[in-house]
Structure 1
């Protein structure tokens, strides 16, 4: 919609959660474990 700015922070939080990342955009420990990787 013209003149409206999307809620960027909320969109990024949702995207990170869907990807299995933490709030910094890094893979969460659960994601790392699921993939068999270590930090």
Structure 2
């Protein structure tokens, strides 16, 4: 098996984690906007 497979897996995991962080940041911003509208 080529040794590039683990590297691709690592890159995929990194992209997934970055997407998760971005998603949580977006959720936080949305919640903040909702709080401002509610008050």
TM-score of the pair, normalised by structure 2: 0.32
Larger radius of gyration: 2
TM-score of the pair, normalised by structure 1: 0.32
Higher helix share: 2
Q: Which has the higher contact order (CA 8 A, sep 6+)?
A: 1
